[in-house]
Amino acid sequence: MNLNEVDPIIVEKAKLWLGESYDQQTRDAVKNMLENDPAELVECFYRDLEFGTGGLRGIMGPGTNRMNKYTVGAATQGLANYLLKSFSGLQEISVAIACDSRNNSQFFARITAEVMAANGIKVFLFDSLRPTPELSFAVRHLGCQGGVMVTASHNPKEYNGYKVYWNDGGQLVPPHDKNVITEVQKISSVNEIKFTGNQDKIVTIGNEVDEVYLNNLAGLSLSPEVIARQKDLKIVYSPIHGTGYKLVPEVLKKFGFVNVLSVEEQSVPDGNFTTVHSPNPEEKAAMHLALELAKKTDADLIMATDPDADRVGIGVKDLNGDFVLLNGNQAASLLIYYLIKKWKTNGKLQGKEFIAKTIVTSELLKDIAESHSVESFDVLTGFKYIAEIIRKYEGEKTFIGGGEESYGYLVGDFVRDKDAVASCAMLAETAAWAKDQGMSMFEMLVNIYHEYGFYLEDLISITKKGKSGAEEIQKMMENYRTTPPKEINGIKVVKVKDYKSGKETDLINGGQKDIDLPKSDVLQFFLEGGSKITVRPSGTEPKIKFYFGVKGKLENKADFEKVNSLMREELNAMIAALNLV
């Protein structure tokens, strides 16, 4: 590719970055792309970063499609403008800002603070890295109108990101997310960004907020007497070089656990994530060191959190005594089962309680809840929609807990985002409760399958990078919409839900009805017999995701291995039928 082949609009956008309003390093990098690397120029400038399900997120570097001082500055200026409009009646508007351990996170957090302060907005800036859930907590605790968490969650090291929170402590939902983007798009020049702030408007916060947050977490415990008996439960924990390194061990100690072994190599914050290819606890490779330590020490439970400590992966011993990693649906099912059982035992169920899950998360959670007369809400993918449900029913109904298949869970409502710090504590308590009854967590899971039905799920993610990848993903979604499969693996598709059109279509009777959820680029295919396939582009990564779910019966617990094998064959056949692997 040469520069003549590049869209002139892209070239003009790039040339604006050669002006004196940009720093010399940025100008040099853009000049080099214009002269020597037009392909990279396209990737850096073909679009502006937008808020997806996780906010602003992208590869770090120069350009409108990259995370840098200027895109962060523009996002912050747009957010500041929207806050000033939305809360014009307040004498003082304030925001809380935190960051994770990624490269440039503290730099971006400081830029965010400076721009906010320059716009007359008071800033509560954490003194060092903190978990995402603590930022969510701080927004409400400090009475802020908004918040920003600088993180790219579990993405590879070249990424960074920017999650925006509203005054309820939840991430932006419609119409606020689109309205902020509109404000950002109104900024036609970098000169409109107020980079130099009033330092008096920036207040440093730290341990005092940690203490209140941890005390709230400690109040979640439902079985202190069980932990007293099982305090020696052997727990291996890894923060995978992220923000959980301090608070997760502290909250486990507050709960009463005294035998916590940290993975030393991964307990040092490191934006390069030197011991892993990707700091994602959903991937077995990221859990390797924790698994090795667990085998060496004969641990009861493995837990690992991602860099901003909002997701947690767990490992337990299976029926043969070998360590296995549970997926997000399994961990969420164990947690929700334990919470509801203990709420009932402790006399806390009053008939107004509810849980919430995303549409791609296992139906097992719903089955568990409804069997105890606890209401269950389905929401779109993205934990911000669970926060939205909590806010909607605040004062009317009581939120017990919620989760999503992508390793994010929440207990209690004082945080309004997935909380791996709280989840680590409550999953450890779940393990202690199981052990106190002579079970492992895996045996507890088998018991749940026996009682409610055997659910088996899997996720296939296909990466399509860059502009061409985004176009290919869009084309795939269009093809599934215009020519949906009539059968998959020889099994009839009986119903299609298209969340983009907001319509549910019965393919047997031809009837159609509305879906009572916001519009979203998601398709679901329901098969004869109860299997379900969901297709959606990721809102935070260059991927298209396929969620597969099958349901069977486990009439005899001794048949677990056999039934699991048969259901796995069925699930793999469905994946093969769509030519995904």
Tell whether omega for the bond before 175 is within 30 degrees of 0, i.e. cis: yes
Strands 543-552 and 159-166, sheet pairing: unpaired
In this structure, which amino acid lies at residue 398?
T
From the list 511, 331, 489, 480, the residue with the least C-alpha distance to 404 is 331
DSSP E strand boundaries for 405-473? 408-411, 454-463
> How does DSSP assign 264-325, residue by residue?
GGGSS--TT-TT-SS--TTSGGGGHHHHHHHHHHT-SEEEEE-TTSS-EEEEEE-TTS-EEE
Q: Is residue 109 within a helix (H) or strand (E), and if so which, with residue range? A: helix 105-118
- Report how far residue 338's alpha carbon sits from residue 423's, in angstroms, rounded to the nearest whole number: 12
- Report how far residue 439's alpha carbon sits from residue 300's, in angstroms, rounded to the nearest whole number: 11
**What sign does the CA torsion over 403, 124, 114, 308 have?**
negative
Same fold, 213-452 and 455-577: no
The yes-or-no answer on residue 136 being catalytic is no
Measured CA to CA in angstroms, residue 168 lies from 123, 135, 311, 378, 413 at distances of: 17, 12, 20, 20, 10
Measured CA to CA in angstroms, residue 267 lies from 260, 273, 284, 407 at distances of: 13, 11, 18, 20
Per annotation, catalytic residue among 101, 153, 333, 520:
153
- Report how far residue 423's alpha carbon sits from residue 443's, in angstroms, rounded to the nearest whole number: 20
- Report how far residue 136's alpha carbon sits from residue 146's, in angstroms, rounded to the nearest whole number: 9
3-class SS letters over 345-370: HCCCCCCCEEEEEECCCCCHHHHHHH
Burial of 572 (0-12, 13-18, 19+ CB in 10 A): middle
- Report how far residue 329's alpha carbon sits from residue 408's, in angstroms, rounded to the nearest whole number: 10
Tokens in use for 128?
Answer: 């060092």
CA dihedral (495, 499, 500, 504) in degrees, to 10, reads 40
- Report how far residue 413's alpha carbon sits from residue 423's, in angstroms, rounded to the nearest whole number: 13
Instruction: Return the bridge partners of 122, or none.
Output: 94
Q: What does the pLDDT read at residue 142?
A: 98
CATH for the stretch 213-452 = 3.40.120.10
- DSSP-derived 3-state class of residue 455: strand
Contact 321, 300 (CB under 8 A): no
DSSP E strand boundaries for 412-568? 454-463, 487-488, 491-498, 503-506, 512-514, 523-527, 532-537, 543-552
Range 481-487 contact pairs with CB under 8 angstroms and sequence separation of 24 or more: 481/523, 484/523, 484/525, 485/525, 485/578
Q: What does the pLDDT read at residue 52?
A: 57
Measured CA to CA in angstroms, residue 364 lies from 271, 408, 418, 454 at distances of: 37, 16, 19, 8
pLDDT tens for the chain, 581 residues: list them: 789 888 999 999 999 999 999 999 999 999 999 999 999 999 999 988 876 555 689 999 999 999 999 999 999 999 999 999 999 999 999 999 999 999 999 999 999 999 999 999 999 999 999 999 999 999 999 999 999 999 999 889 999 999 999 999 999 998 898 888 889 889 889 999 999 979 999 999 999 999 999 999 999 999 999 999 999 999 999 999 999 999 999 999 999 999 999 999 999 999 999 999 999 999 999 999 999 999 999 999 999 999 999 999 999 999 999 999 999 999 999 999 999 999 999 999 999 999 999 999 999 999 999 999 999 999 998 899 999 999 999 999 999 999 999 999 999 999 999 999 999 999 999 999 999 999 999 999 999 999 999 999 999 999 998 888 989 999 999 999 999 999 999 999 999 999 999 999 999 998 999 999 989 999 999 998 888 999 999 876 789 999 999 988 999 999 999 999 999 999 999 999 998 86
- CA angle, 521 then 527 then 531, to 5°: 90
Which sequence spans correspond to the domains of the chain?
A: 1-46, 52-205, 213-452, 455-577
493: left (phi over 0), alpha (psi -120 to 50) or beta: beta
Contact 49, 71 (CB under 8 A): yes
Q: What is the pLDDT of residues 222-259, one digit of tens each?
A: 999 999 999 999 999 999 999 999 999 999 999 999 99
CATH 3.30.310 fits 455-577, yes or no: yes
- Report how far residue 478's alpha carbon sits from residue 483's, in angstroms, rounded to the nearest whole number: 8
Contacts of 334 (CB under 8 A, 6+ apart): 326, 427, 430, 441, 444, 445, 448
Burial of 427 (0-12, 13-18, 19+ CB in 10 A): buried
What global pTM score does this model have?
Answer: 0.93
Domain 52-205 CATH (choose: 3.40.718.10, 3.40.50.1980, 2.40.37.10, 3.40.120.10):
3.40.120.10
- DSSP-derived 3-state class of residue 482: helix
Contact 251, 305 (CB under 8 A): no
Q: What does the pLDDT read at residue 529?
A: 81
Residues in the chain: 581
For the beta carbon of residue 500, count every other beta carbon within 10 angstroms.
Answer: 14
- DSSP-derived 3-state class of residue 66: coil
